[in-house]
Structure 1
């Protein structure tokens, strides 16, 4: 496929992206929030911020022809974290046996983790459609993103990855929200992933995939939520690895092991031309 005309740009040291086929795709990467920024956004989110909160980071897709502006925002993602006391008990209740075992191993430390909000920072955030002509919105569909087509080797014109937030869960695991974007001659693909590891208890991934094929009149969005017991995933580590459990810190590998444990799947389509 002949590569379409495109332009890479740098609007600042923190923001860069690509202009292609009427689309502007840009990432902003800055340092973690300072104390003043934390105090300001704390009132919006209603939960204590994760240890590393990159509140100014974002991934934006826009197209002036469609009046479209779509964004992945860490602040909006954090707003979907459960702020109730019940939210803080979810992991403890759902995985009571594993949790009790974990607590028995380190009782004084683990008791401080359960807090009056979802301390795992689990979020079902799948992006914010900030504007679109004629009120277009994502609507339920049965159409899937053709992942096999995306596996076909194709030159990447632009690629970037941003971290939205990360927390070590009081040394009991990891909660990480990040996003990756790649732009090819045929279209663009975005993967946002919330990755959760609670040691000895569970793994969870909440993933949002967004795809647009240049020349088509729609974007597809898929949201999926998967989780599995920690030890079931650990058992998938190849035997030749011995005591090496480093794969458990690799979100890509863990996600591949969770494919059969899908809890939730939402398929949506955004029509770009509305008559």
Structure 2
């Protein structure tokens, strides 16, 4: 089977692909320097994560005007900046928090700040361009995961970190985004991963899929979490004290419970309607 017409490109920090009327561009650069951090800090009222890749982004544009972007700055703007935000993990997991605090009080007191210091974000992309002012609407059409499992040529692939923080040596908060383009369509996975040692794991996933020649972009957002020790209990006994699997994001993801009740399923019309109603 012949591959669809496409053109890959790379210029400096940007690379991407043009295919089926879409231009997909990834920008990957080092973490921001102090001058740029100072400028961004004026927009963001909370301390930036230790590693903030403010210039990294994923952008998808089509010939009809659709523009969806994944931006670390926009993601950070959705972190809870209230004093209550800083207490959420402490309150929701009070018993585990007390144990953790008792073990490591000197470190943990530095972590409690008047904002959500876990940098949890429900960000699912920024829609900057639309067709006839259409926005993402609720849908019952799920992304066909089985179709995505089929073996296809990968015409373009890239992944990048948007931000990362080690939570004062008490775990990790990581936001990254990946895209793969196949002859049949493209798939994006943005994932926020949180591990607070001895307390909890949390994972917020945004999946975006488009099958070429169809009129919609599909998006699904899910949020899952579980107690740290419940995930730790899945480590095989023969590994003894080796808990390195707890840093394997894919492995942790496979052990987290599914949360269908919190699933948000949406779709976006990406072409002009041929017979719009008046």
- Do they superpose with TM above 0.5? yes
Q: How does 1:131-146 map to 2 (within 5 A)?
A: 131-146=129-144
Tell me the distance in 2 between the aligned counterparts of 1:239 and 1:2.
Answer: 49
Within the candidate set 67, 73, 89, 1:91 is matched to 89
What SS does the aligned partner of 2:8 have?
strand
1:224–1:263 Cα contact (<8 Å) kept: no
**2:253, 2:262 → 1: CA distance?**
14
Give 1:111's aligned residue. Answer: 109
1:2 aligned partner? 2
Q: Secondary structure at the match of 1:267?
A: strand
1:15 corresponds in structure 2 to 14
8 Å contact from structure 1 (residues 180, 192) kept in 2: yes
Where 2:214 maps in the other structure, the secondary structure is: coil
Query: 1:255 Cα deviation (Å)?
Result: 1.2
Q: Which residue of 2 aligns with 1:49?
A: 48
> Residue 71 of structure 1 aligns to a residue in which SS?
strand
Q: Is the 8 A contact 1:225 1:263 kept in 2?
A: no
Contact 1:189 1:211 in 2 (8 A): yes
For 2:34, the equivalent position in structure 1 comes to 35
Deviations 1:4-32 (A, max 9, x none): 011110122x1000111111111100010
Question: Residue in 2 aligned with 1:247?
Answer: 245
CA contact (8 A) 1:10 1:17 kept: yes
Task: After superposition, give the CA deviation of every residue in 1:226-251 in whole Å (9 maximum; x if it has no partner).
Answer: 00000001111222322221111111
- What is the aligned residue count? 273
Structure 1: give runs of 5+ residues left out of the alignment. Answer: none
Whether the 8 Å CA contact 2:181–2:187 is kept in 1: the answer is yes
Preserved CA contact (<8 Å) 1:57 1:162: yes
Deviation at 1:268? 0.4
Partner Cα distance (1:182, 1:261) in 2:
25
Q: 1: CA distance between counterparts of 2:243 and 2:68?
A: 38
Normalised TM-score (structure 1): 0.97
**What is the TM-score of this pair, normalised by structure 2?**
0.96
